[in-house]
Chain A
Amino acid sequence: MSERTSRIGGAFDKARVDGRALLVGCMPAGFPTVEGSIAAMKAMVDAGVDVIEVEIPYSDPVMDGPVIQRASDIALAGGVRTRDTLRIVEAVAATGAPVVTMTYWNPIERYGVDAFARDLAAAGGTGLITPDLIPEEAGDWLAASDAHGLDRTFLVAPSSTDERLAMTAGHCRGFVYATAIMGVTGARSQTSQAAPVLVSRVREITDLPVGVGLGVGTGEQAATVAGYADAVIVGSALIRCLLDTPDDAEALTALRDLSTELAEGVRHGLPRGAGGRPG
């Protein structure tokens, strides 16, 4: 684990002082268009989303369910490029909200791992969430993220052994991403039973903040997850606001409304401490 300061750490520190979890909202870059995705992400920030997760659209997103797949396909069909993602990161980071990028690995290898790290840092991004990169294969990214001072978030899963949890968390900087369920992204009617168990297992081996993603779609679910996690990560439910509503203005209204609901959720979670992070 590197002692280097995390770019996103300050946001977690502040939320901890406020006694609440962060709300992370995910949107694919270039969905529905480059400008449209910037507008959507800014609307999310205005409505109380703390951190924006910009997903680089990829042709073969094996960790994603149908909503993100469709949104990614629309973005790619619109011709979005990896360098557009960097422009989007820069525009959204200008609002002052931390912007983390989530990406499958091949687009980064193709861009050049060090070049991407350099350009992401220059654009004001905090780091990468890498759903199909495990630390064992991440040599180039470990070096590039150190060289350019970026955070790196690897995933942990309910199926991870204790040894792997320790190894994976040891390579994270910023926060650890706990996948709440064994499955792909997409809102679900019930929050996971496995997630609180996984989060407490992670807390036994690291002091890093833990974000929980997969399956959260309502303010109530956000409140539940905020009761034990440091960040609540929401993607598909937010994206669906734009997929389901053909009218742009209406879609942004729906997106703002859901963001507000989720933001209230993370502020009204169970009292911090009971099963959550001390302090």
Chain B
Amino acid sequence: MSADATNADVPAQLPDAAGHYGPFGGRFVPEALVAALDELASAHRAAMADESFLAEFAGLSRDYAGTPSLLYEARRFSERAGARVLLKREDLNHTGAHKVRNVLGQALLTRRMGKRRVIAETGAGQHGVAAATAAALFDLECVVYMGQVDTERQALNVARMRMLGATVVPVTTGSRTLKDAMNEAMRDWVANVDETHYLIGTAAGPHPFPALVRDFVRGIGDEARTQCLDQIGALPDAVTACVGGGSNALGIFHAFTGDPQVRLYGFEAGGDGVGTGRHAASITGGSTGVLHGTRTFVLQDADGQTQESHSISAGLDYPGVGPEHAWLHDTGRATYQPVTDDEAMSAFELLCRTEGIIPAIESAHALAGTLAVAPKLAAELGRQPTILVNLSGRGDKDVHTAGEYFGILDKERP
């Protein structure tokens, strides 16, 4: 192994003690939550230094979640992309996405803090299902807040959460979507903070959430970096991922931030196009603000009121982004670009047809972005680039949406 192989052990330099990533991050929360955030930060710090905690997390990740996930060279997709494309197969994890890593880590922390109840927010229901899964495994009470609009759109995931023993609460305030579900989870937490852990679904929210979620999902990149060196004997030229709140992207980026030759690309949900105003691209189409306890890029109007986001992908349909991404953008270490619904669905179809893999629509944004940057990278490097793509989830949950998009569902009988 080359000296590079140890790079993944470089400790995180950010955030600072108060949870800041440069001008981003921090804590913009009611005072009532500060004690709980301090408790969580201290539990997180202690757990990360505790060999037995890390061993239990690693054991569960391996035996229960099925990690390390495979690194697969997608040869037929590569031909179409004009790049050597390596897929990090997070879609093969238990529950179908990278999110299982985060919920297992947080469930272990919940137990460590002696709490018996977890709450979670969910948009399409993927994080809700993952949270309900971990709660079942750890025998925790679980309440999931979900916008009423989403409970209607995602009835099957509501049923899944209930099968797993969770209580699903439809949220009827505001726009009745993910951001409002997050507000309601925060309100529950303020009222029940003594016995409850807020099992947040992405690397956003007040400190220490962005840092602890990153720590639980960074295995994606740590594994992929080692796998690249083992399987192709080199680091990739670029790493790509979709970005909503940004946990899967941080998870795969983190191991490579110390490798300056590896370009990092995050692809945001461009919806109908950033120019139309109907999108969820907080970095490329938003501005600096405070949302859900952290300073980051936010879709907001001239008065700082949060604007509704739009994306065909429910998992990317969020008007903010994790603060570490805001910082990676600000420092230029990572590049963020929008991918429209149509571009994502075209890449979705291409992966289905070339590789026999149905990706999550979220992950299809990473594939579409990869197709877009591959020729530029090839021109820049003067050779075929190698691109590592985080295939963060599988598309089973998206069959209905995609079926409608492509017009391939049989008409309902009268």
Contacts and interface: CB of A to CB of B under 8 A. Distances in A.
Contacts of A107: 303-305
B302 A137 contact: no
Interface in B48-73: none
Which residue among B32, B193, B194, B288 has the maximum number of chain A CB atoms within 10 Å of its CB? B32
Contact of A69 (B28, B173, B194, B292): B173
Contacts of B190: 62-63, 182-184
B31 A154 contact: yes
Contact of A159 (B35, B289, B300, B303): B35
Given A164-B31, A164-B34, A182-B32, A159 B305 contact: no
A61 B292 CA distance: 10
A148 B33 CA distance: 30
A26 to B, nearest CB: 16
A163 to B, nearest CB: 11
Interface in A37-92: 58-63, 65-66, 69-70, 73, 76, 81-82
Nearest to A131: B30
Interface string A105-146: 111111100000000000000000001111011000000000
A106 B304 contact: yes
A179 interface: yes
B290 interface: yes
A224 B173 CA distance: 32
A68 B296 CA distance: 26
A205 to B, nearest CB: 15
A60 B298 CA distance: 13
User: Chain A contact residues (Cβ within 8 angstroms of B): what range?
Assistant: 35 or more
Given A133-B28, A137-B28, A157-B30, A106 B290 contact: yes
Contact of B193 (A59, A131, A159): A159
Nearest to A179: B32
Given A58-B305, A164-B34, A182-B190, A110 B300 contact: yes
Q: Is the interface of B mostly helix, strand, loop or mixed?
A: mixed
Nearest to B36: A159
A131 B180 CA distance: 18
A29 to B, nearest CB: 11
Interface residues of B, number: 37
Which residue among A108, A181, A184 has the maximum number of chain B CB atoms within 10 Å of its CB? A184
A160 B183 contact: no
Interface string B331-358: 0000000000000000000000000000
Given A59-B306, A69-B174, A107-B305, A179 B300 contact: no
A60 B292 CA distance: 8
Given A66-B173, A73-B174, A105-B290, A110 B34 contact: no
A99 interface: no
Contacts of B183: 60-62
Contacts of B288: 109
A102 interface: no
A123 B7 CA distance: 57
Interface string B242-269: 0000000000000000000000000000
B208 to A, nearest CB: 14
A61 B30 CA distance: 11
B325 interface: no
Interface of A: 58-63, 65-66, 69-70, 73, 76, 81-82, 105-111, 131-134, 136-137, 154-161, 164, 168, 179, 181-184
Interface of B: 18, 26-36, 173-174, 179-180, 183, 186-187, 190-194, 288-293, 298, 300, 302-306
5 contacts: A62-B183, A110-B303, A155-B30, A179-B31, A182-B190
Given A60-B179, A111-B304, A164-B35, 7 more contacts: A58-B305, A63-B187, A109-B304, A131-B30, A134-B28, A159-B36, A183-B32
Give 8 nearest A-B pairs by CB, closest first.
A110-B304, A157-B32, A183-B191, A107-B304, A159-B35, A106-B304, A62-B186, A106-B290
